[in-house]
Each structure stands twice: as C-alpha cells, then as structure tokens.
Amino acid sequence: MPPKPLDYGSINENVKKSQYAVRGELYLRASELQKEGKKIIFTNVGNPHALGQKPLSFPRQVVALCQAPFLLDDPNVGLLFPADAIARAKHYLSLTSGGLGAYSDSRGLPGVRKEVAEFILRRDGYPTDPELIYLTDGASKGVMQILNTIIRGQDDGILVPVPQYPLYSATIALLGGTLVPYYLEETANWGLDVNELRQSVEQARFKGITVKAMVIINPGNPTGQCLSEANLREVLQFCYQENLALLGDEVYQTNIYQDERPFISSRKVLMDLGPPISKEVQLISFHSVSKGYYGECGQRGGYFEMTNIPPETVDEIYKVASISLSPNVPAQIFMGVMLHPPQPGDISYDKFVRESTGILESLRRRARLMTDGFNSCRNVVCNFTEGAMYSFPQIRLPPRALEAAKQAGKVPDVFYCLKLLEATGISTVPGSGFGQREGVFHLRTTILPDEEDMPAIMDSFKKFNDEFMEQYEDNRGYSRL
C-alpha cells in the first residue's frame, strides 16, 4: 500500500528541516514536569505577562470598550472608565467598518496605519507613507511574509546574525532558502564586524549562493546588545555596496538598560546618510506590541514599514497579505494606543507614566541582577544585557560534562539545560538553538521573572551550577572562547 499523503515520509521536507528551539525539547520537558506537579519558571520565551508583568491600564481600557461598545451607551460608563479612554475607544471604533468583529483592510486599518506613520515621523524626523506600512499579527508574521517575498529557492541566501532568533533560521528553512551566518563577537559585547559580514558574503557567493538580504536584530535577541549609530551606518553602507535589502528587527526598541547607546532606527540612519544610499537601499523595519513595557504577546500585534521598495513589489506583497483577508483588529488598536499613549494633561497620563516607567526601571535593575548573578558563578561568563529581554551567558563546560552529554546522546548545552531544569525548575533555551561558535556553549534566559523572585532564582541557578561543575570538573580545562 503506498504511503498516505500525511505520513511522515510524505510531508514537505522543509517542514522537517525547520527547527524552533524556544518551544523545543526543553520546553516540552518543562511542560511534562509541570503536569507532574513540579514548579516551573518558564524563562525560555519573552512572555512578560506569563511571568507576572501587569498589563498597562489605559490600552486595556480602550480595547475593552472597543470590544464591548454597548458599554459606551451605559450612563455609568464614566464611573468605570476615564474620559480619555472613552474618547479614544470612540475614535478607534470610528475607524472600523463595523467594530472589532469586522475584517479590516488587508494592510490594516488606514487610520491606524496613519498613526504608525505619525509615530515614525516623531521618532526619526522623516515622513513616511501610510500606504507602505502593513499591520500584521505580530512582527513574526511580517518577517515571514517578507522572507517569503524575497526567497525564490535554495540558491537565495539571507545574511543572519549568529546567535540569532530562530524565527529566521526556521522560516528560511521552511521556505527552502539558505541561511548565511555572520558571527557576532562575544568578547566585544556581541559587536558586529563589517569584515565578518564581507567574509560571509564572499564565502556564500563562492558556493553559488545569491545573497539577497541581511537581518539585524536591534536590540539583540538573544544577545542583548544595542547597535551604535556608527555601526548602523557601516551596515547600511555595506548593504549599498553589496546590493542587499536590510531587514531591521526593532521590536525591542524601548527595552534599553544603559545610556551610552540609545536606540536609533535603521530608517533614521538611512535617511541621515542622504543620496544615493538613502534612495537606493531597500529597507523593511519591524515593530511589535509584544515587547517594550507593553508585553502584550498574546494580542499578536505588529507592523512592517517598507522603504525604497518598487510599487510593483508592494502590489505583490499586498496580494499575499489579502489571502489572509485581515490582520486581527483588536491588536491593531493596541498598536495605535502603544504609539500614541496618553499625553501631558490627559486624565490617564500620570498613571500611564507611573506604570510604564515602573516596568522599564525594574527591567533595568533585573538586567543588572541577572548579569551579576551569572558572573558570580563558576565557569560562567555573561555580557551585560544592554537591551531587549534576555541574558545569554557562556557556560564553560568541563570535558567530562562533554563526554557525559555524548553518552546521553545530547548536545552539550542541551544536556546542561536539561539538568538545570530537572534540578531547579528553571526552563531555559540552549545556545545551540540560536547558533554559536564551534565548541562554545550558552543558554538564553529572559530577565522577566518578578524582581522580588530574582535573587532566589539566581541563588538556585548558582547552587545547581556549582554542584554540576563539582561533579564534572577535572584538571583538563574547559570549553571556552
């Protein structure tokens, strides 16, 4: 009897090739342990509300009224909701064609796209066209849509940082393209070296790969570094010289925990460079409501903005977007509110500032607590988390641990992270899921656990790590940079 269409041997090989470690073996084992009654601390994914972050009041009030517009007709609505939230809900409902239950334009509500364009003008000092802004179900869907547009087959390559967020490696594999890695330099705080970029492109072209685009993640995931303006200029000049499109993943742009390198957008630097570069480099920028002080991951709201993309290509991107009819409408409202928060003088302003500032200040303290905690551990080295939501410590595994991992049939950092999970309940992601240099091992953890719990979590990690190193350490040295 011939194999059935959905038997494992019959399915798309690209589906099998794609890997997503953030929800991989460690996460599945953590879920099993949780079902068995073990307390699990899920630090494997940047999911702020799941780790106790409270939602901001104002956006939830606005969306609640949009979801239940009959409340606006209740004479007592002003007793439960502030006047500015009521006014904003009426504004957003007026932008829809039938409330939140109706499809929007496939690009998103025109009124919200106009608000995104106003935000970009305020941020960068350069205008943009709302027709070149598409609202999406989270930034991930936008990334997938653009990669789908770029990749024609296995001979098309995408330049991706290593370590990288596995959305990129998984999507490139799924679409049948080729990932072209460029390594970030850990000893230079995960810095980006243009010479490394050039070498990666040359090696790929030697193999017959057409390198079509470059990805930057700024601030970095999983590495937490912030790119300087000078670094961004180098990247854009490199893309111009090598005829590469640039994909700027900027979803963590408000998650900054140091003052030396504030966030600056790729688009602003591109415009500042002036012609011919500002007119020639093709740039797609991504943003999301899932990060920052919002942390509204479950709402699935995002956008991408296109710069220097030909109209014919924009039409094709629109055609593909229209296949899904509409991005989810409540998330579009969240995006509008995120980019246009309460202003001084508004009733909700003081509360909004108090809530959002409190979250960011706490994240800054947690970034320091976690970095210092890792660096106090035996055979662990960690760069400071300058931005985003993660620490990415290097674990210097003793040779006997490498041998034990091999005996267990596990990649060494997977072996370590599984042992950590079983002993402490801390669910992390092994560095091999993001890519790393040969013979060097890491793990990624979020900095999102409650600030009050952080000392106990780091103490638990330190105790486990010391016992692990004691068990496997000998005098033959360690895996390390």
320 and 378 in a single domain? The answer is no
Distances from the Cα of 433 to the Cα of 167, 211, 248, 399, 441, angstroms: 11, 23, 21, 21, 11
313 and 367 in a single domain? The answer is no
Q: Which candidate, 363, 301, 328, 333, places its Cα nearest to that of 58?
A: 333
* Residue predicted with more confidence, 10 or 265: 265
Q: Mind listing the pLDDT tens digit for each residue in 320-379?
A: 999 999 999 999 999 999 999 999 999 999 999 999 999 999 999 999 999 999 999 999
**Is 390 contained in some domain?**
yes
227 and 365 in a single domain? The answer is no
User: Is 90 exceeded by the pLDDT of residue 12?
Assistant: no
295 and 414 in a single domain? The answer is no
Calculate helix-pair angle for 57-67, 329-339, nearest 10 degrees. 140
To the nearest whole number, what is the mean pLDDT of the chain?
93
**Is 208 contained in some domain?**
yes
Tell me if 235 sits within 8 A of 194, measured CB to CB.
Answer: yes
Question: What is the tally of structural domains in the chain?
Answer: 2
* Residue 268: CATH number of its domain: 3.40.640.10
Kindly report which listed range (102-106, 289-293, 306-310, 439-443) carries the lowest average pLDDT score.
289-293
**Is 62 contained in some domain?**
no
158 and 110 in a single domain? The answer is yes
314 and 417 in a single domain? The answer is no
**Is 405 contained in some domain?**
yes
Distances from the Cα of 351 to the Cα of 178, 216, 336, angstroms: 48, 34, 19
Mean local confidence (pLDDT), 200-212: 97
Rounded distance, CA 201 to CA 214, Å?
10
Mean local confidence (pLDDT), 18-32: 80
User: Is 80 exceeded by the pLDDT of residue 478?
Assistant: no
Rounded distance, CA 108 to CA 328, Å?
8
Which domain covers residue 438, as residue numbers? 13-38+358-472
**Is 352 contained in some domain?**
no
Percent of the chain with pLDDT over 90: 84
Amino acid present at 372: D
- The pLDDT confidence band at residue 57, using thresholds 50, 70 and 90, is very high
Domain end, chosen from 339, 374, 408, is at: 339
330 and 406 in a single domain? The answer is no
User: Is 70 exceeded by the pLDDT of residue 417?
Assistant: yes
How is residue 4 annotated by DSSP?
P
User: What DSSP assignment string belongs to 216-261?
Assistant: EESS-TTT-----HHHHHHHHHHHHHHT-EEEEE-TTTT-B--SSS
99 and 126 in a single domain? The answer is yes
142 and 234 in a single domain? The answer is yes
Residue 292 has a pLDDT of: 86
**Is 344 contained in some domain?**
no
Q: Which candidate, 56, 221, 51, 201, places its Cα nearest to that of 143?
A: 221
Residue 2 has a pLDDT of: 86
User: Is 50 exceeded by the pLDDT of residue 204?
Assistant: yes
- The pLDDT confidence band at residue 431, using thresholds 50, 70 and 90, is very high
Q: Which long-range contacts (CB under 8 A, 24 or more apart) does 409-418 make?
A: 412/441, 412/479, 413/441, 413/442, 413/443, 414/25, 414/26, 416/441, 416/443, 416/468, 417/26, 417/443, 418/25, 418/26, 418/29
**Is 305 contained in some domain?**
yes
Mean local confidence (pLDDT), 277-304: 94
Mean local confidence (pLDDT), 431-450: 91
Kindly report which listed range (43-52, 97-106, 299-308, 461-470) carries the lowest average pLDDT score.
43-52
User: What DSSP assignment string belongs to 376-408?
Assistant: TSTTEE-----BTTEE--EE---HHHHHHHHHH
Domain end, chosen from 304, 339, 374, is at: 339
Residue 22 has a pLDDT of: 64
Residue 132 has a pLDDT of: 98
**SS3 call for 93:** helix
Q: Mind listing the pLDDT tens digit for each residue in 311-326?
A: 999 999 999 999 999 9
What's the CA angle centered on 450, arms 330 and 294, to 5 degrees?
A: 25
Residue 181: beta bridge partners?
160
User: Is 70 exceeded by the pLDDT of residue 481?
Assistant: no
324 and 373 in a single domain? The answer is no
226 and 300 in a single domain? The answer is yes
Tell me if 443 sits within 8 A of 431, measured CB to CB.
Answer: yes
**Is 79 contained in some domain?**
no
Residue 316 has a pLDDT of: 96
Tokens of 357: 């500032």
The 10 Å Cβ neighbour count of residue 271 is: 19
* Residue 419: CATH number of its domain: 3.90.1150.10
Domain end, chosen from 339, 371, 386, is at: 339
Q: Is the dihedral of CA 325, 329, 334, 340 positive or negative?
A: positive
425 and 314 in a single domain? The answer is no
Rounded distance, CA 286 to CA 139, Å?
6
